[in-house]
Amino acid sequence: MKLSTRSRYGTRLMLDLARFDDRAPIPLAEIAKRQKLSVKYLEQLIIPLKASGLIQSVRGARGGYRLTRSPDRITVGQVIEVLEGGLSLVDCVNDPKSCKLRVHCLTRPLWQGVSRLIKEHLSSLTLKDVLEGKQMPVRAR
């Protein structure tokens, strides 16, 4: 499995906003410079993040973007779900009808389990946790 640049860069964008959460709204150009990302690409990521209610824009000379909630109330899972449209490894996990073999498929339960573990892990980590280096490895059974 490989996350898209949307998720990777979007998570960096959100962590940047979280890191400077106690300040005034942050201009996108400032975030782009710190994260070494294109402003144009970040503009594309802002749209779904704003529509989901995770961030808000502030207009004006001192405008920019900021989180709508504190960093300890936004999970990495929420960010990735917004940017990827979900956290499932394969389409059939959320939409069984997408697979012609759904009735006799031996691998669907496997993908469901792995997707569940990924979702649980990413949903257990807040932006604050990541900033503080508290990413916990997934425990083996």
Domain boundaries, the chain: 5-131
Q: Give me the CATH code for the 5-131 domain, please.
A: 1.10.10.10
Lowest mean pLDDT among 33-37, 125-129, 132-136: 132-136
pLDDT digits (tens, 9 = 90+) for 80-91: 999 988 877 777
Res 69 pLDDT > 80: yes
Beta strands in 9-87 (DSSP E): 55-58, 64-67
CB-based burial, 106-140: b 16+ in 10 Å, e otherwise: eebeebbeebeebbebbeeebbbbbeeeeeeeeee
Those residues whose C-beta lies under 8 Å from the C-beta of residue 74, and which sit 6 or more positions away, are: 14, 18, 54, 67, 126, 127
By residue count, the chain amounts to 141
pTM of the full predicted structure? 0.86
Q: State the pLDDT confidence band at 102, using cuts at 50, 70 and 90.
A: low
